Structure 1
Amino acid sequence: MIYGEYEYKVENNIKLSQEHLESLSLMYQPLIGASALGLYLLFNNGLIHTNYSKLALLVNVNIEEIERNLILLERYRLIRTFKHKEEHHFIHQILAPILPSAFLNHYVYGLKLKQAIGDYHYNVLVIKYREVVLEKKDYVDISETKAFNSNSFDAADLNSMLQTKAIDIELSTQFDFGLFLSDASELKFPSILRTKENLKLISELALLYGISELRMATLVYRSIDYNKKELVTEKLYERVRREKVEFEHTQNKYDLPTIAFLQSLQNGAHVTDYNKQLLEKLALEMMLETQVINRLIEYVMETQNNRLVHNFVLQIASTWKAYDVKNVDDANKVIQNIDYSQKRNFMPEQQKETIKREASREEKYTDEEKDAISERWKKLGERYGSSNN
């Protein structure tokens, strides 16, 4: 709770573009309201230091309304709020809004916007902001591929680029990039391909599938088109999916690579490409933490007769994303507060049929196999602790 005499400062390094403003007015405003949007724009336009009483007078609302608006802005990742450890001083850090196209494709925001404004107005926005892709099957790519001399980059250049704060891409600390690059000569892995985007994808796939750094390096080299100086991500995905899952037991079973975790739930049975693509979506597109994904698929398998029903998985994942679930404890709290079994009883018939079709695509197990899976999971629980530990 905040009080009028509490002071705050605003940290703002954001320059709003025309697209940002369109996203705020057309997409954020229906969800957060005009009052919260007005507060965000006020912060963005230079109101950097005062107390909440003065702010309330300025925007003509009470303190409770200001606090409600701050919570909405935090929920939609438009600001972050920091409180001094000892004093009643706050810092509100301004974050950039998602651009329209990304907003409409966001798993949570896009769905909530559609619910708020209705199908018609949502589709109008989709048409307005959809990407224009021209058919190129009868064309040949003649783009210049030797735009830069990659030999001009050395290790110092690369390290400087990766460490710069101007590039807002976080690389995983669980993946040893030093080991991964230890044998990466300029011929094997040209410096021009060592972008943060590529390294992020490589590390996330390695952690998802439980692939070692050195083995991942081999798969990356085999996926490079050296003539075009391009990492062909489709080939990398294919090679990663073909890898045999090997893993060591950890103190916390939820820290296992997600593919290995699902395989353990299936009593060692091979994970289908169909399910691998689902887990890739959760990790790479929805950006859920490994522990969160593992608890999610465990919960679905427990409640859906050992089936990984895709639509149900995505339904829960969207909820957890909205609740900003970061670990197993967060996930368990949401599970306790939301009865998904009841929610499924009120699903539209069309969605129920979709889930049935999804379920039919999963591997079929005999009663003996199901018993074996349950027994396997019981042993894992006894060894590493249950989901309640």
Structure 2
Amino acid sequence: MAIEIRCIEHLSSEQRQSLSLLYGPLIGKSSVCLYEFLGSIQNSIDLEDIYLLLNMNAAQFDKARNYLEQYHLIETYVHKEDMLIFLYAPLSPNKFLCHETYSRLYLACVGAKCFDKIKAMLHIDKTVSSLYTKVESPLDVSILDSWNESKEIAYEKVKPTIKQKYDFDFATLFKGMDRIFPVRFRTSENLDRIAEMAKIYGINAKDMRRYVQRSINPSTHVFDLDKLKDMVMRNRKAIEIGSDPYQMSPVKFLQNKQNGIPVVKSDQILIERLCKEFQFPIEVVNTLIEYTLQQTKQQFSRNYVEKVAASWVRLGVDSRKRALNIINQSPAGNKNDKNTEKVVLDEKFYTQKEEKSDTQIQQEMLELQKMLKEGKL
């Protein structure tokens, strides 16, 4: 099998520190070695040569590659007998140690004492004496004030094609928004956040355009992402359930599970963490929601949900199929199948008693009263 290597991001000295000291204990020496080796390949290499040069067998290679995929250091694509691998740079030490998932996994792996030592070792003092004055040169984007829709169309024709991270209808969002939401606001960070919120909270492009418009201060012309998120989280619009409910937005999925009652803010925040920090696909998040509700008698407990989520990260759950396999293998998943017996009722339990009329009931009461007076009861 021939493997084509594409190095998407080159490593800085900080990122190399992060790979060795932070990722290393989690992914193992074989994975670090494989990552460094792949990064040194200019174009392509045969899989058999990797086995030979790194002294690995097929199982060891797959295990090392799987760890790199779990921590988003590589992306692997397979077509027949060919393999394509994209290499991505590790998170910087600061971002790694602040990462909600990676930092917890690292602490669990090395312990608090080692965690503190590494944190102190990688700390960079960025404080500046008050005697210094910061010199700032803001980017001049005034030339884009005259940017219009025709220029945007011309730009779209010549710009390089970039793989979209989110499936979102940006064309509808931008339609008629040249002045309201100009190009200077359309940074990759802002667009990623907009598409991410749309996916998590189930907002279509038309509604998102209205929210974006309301998030821009008409006086200062500042785009407020926090205000946008607040409006998105307060959205109560119903969403239609498609052929696959596990592909719908997780917030709307939970809302559907509770008979259309809007999802409270704390649950929305927890769902957002599952999507962003744990980096689960939508179908996995919805499967996790359904599973944890079943296991806790419909209580969406943060501690329990995050505990299950962390275990799924370690097990490499990246699809609903994989999640269902894990659920079915766990004692909790098989509990109902083993202990639940079908209850068969006797035929007499299905016989409906004949209802009595008001006249019959009154007559029986008179007879009882008569029997009481005569001392027969």
TM band (smaller chain): 0.7 to 0.9
Contact 2:198 2:208 in 1 (8 A): yes
**What is residue 113 of structure 1 aligned with on the other side?**
106
**How far, CA to CA, are the matches of 2:277 and 2:160 in structure 1?**
23
> Map of 1:35-54 to 2, 5 A cutoff?
35-46=30-41, 49-54=44-49
Distance (whole Å) between structure 1 residues aligned to residue 79 and residue 319 of structure 2: 25
Partner of 2:363: none
What residue in structure 1 maps to residue 116 of structure 2?
123
Amino acid of the structure 1 residue aligned with 2:89: A
For the pair 1:79 / 2:88, whether they are aligned, the reply is: no
Among residues 150, 154, 166, which one is paired with 1:172 in the alignment? Answer: 166
1:276 to 268, 272, 290: 268
Matched, 1:245 2:245: no
Q: 1:304: Cα distance to partner?
A: 0.9
Shift of the 238–335 alpha-carbon distance from structure 1 to 2, 3 Å rule, reads: same
What is the aligned-residue identity percentage?
Answer: 27
Tell me if structure 1 keeps the 8 A contact 2:77–2:83: yes
Q: Confirm whether residue 102 of structure 1 aligns to residue 95 of structure 2.
A: yes
Q: Residue 189 of structure 2 is aligned with which of 180, 194, 197? A: 197
| Aligned partner letter, 1:183 | G
Give the equivalent residue in structure 1 for 2:342.
none
Give the superposition deviation at 1:23: 0.9
Aligned to 1:16: 11
Distance change (3 Å), C-alpha of 1:40 and 1:295: closer
Report if the CA contact (8 A) 1:210-1:246 is conserved: no
Stretches of structure 1 that go unaligned for 5 or more consecutive residues are: 1-5, 135-141, 343-389
> Aligned letter for 2:106?
L
Q: 1:311 aligns with which of 303, 309, 329?
A: 303
The equivalent residue for 2:224 is 232
| CA positional deviation for 1:301 | 1.5
Unpaired runs of 5+ in structure 2?
128-134, 335-377
Question: Offset at 1:228?
Answer: 4.8
Report the equivalent of 1:260.
Answer: 252
CA displacement 1:124-180 (0-9 Å, x = unmatched): 33345568798xxxxxxx988783113143446656479956977x3422x322222
More displaced, 258-267 or 154-163? 154-163
Aligned to 2:176: 183
1:287 & 1:65 partners in 2: Cα distance? 25
Provide the C-alpha distance between the structure 1 equivalents of 2:151 and 2:330, rounded to a whole number of angstroms. 50
Distance in 1, matches of 2:4 and 2:249, equals 41
CA RMSD of aligned residues (A): 3.5
2:18–2:93 CA contact under 8 A, matched in 1 = yes
Rounded to whole Å, the distance in 2 between the matches of 1:255 and 1:74 is 23
The Cα shift of 1:22 comes to 0.2
> Match of 1:30?
25
Counterpart CA distance in 1 for 2:148 and 2:207 is: 24
Contact 2:149 2:178 in 1 (8 A): no
Normalising by structure 1, we get a TM-score of 0.71
Kept in 2, the 8 Å contact 1:12–1:93? The answer is: yes
SS, match of residue 225 in structure 1: coil
**1:151 aligns to 2:151 (yes or no):** no
Task: Give the distance between the partners of 2:47 and 2:235, measured in 1 at CA.
Answer: 57
Secondary structure of the equivalent of 2:111? helix
Counterpart in the other structure of 2:291? 299
SS of 1:219 mapped into structure 2? helix
* SS of structure 2 residue aligned to 1:230: coil
Distance 1:229 1:131 in 2: 35
How far apart are 1:256 and its partner, in Å?
3.1
C-alpha displacement of 1:297: 1.4
Give the partner amino acid of 2:90: P
- 1:288 and 1:93 map into 2 onto residues whose CA distance is 20
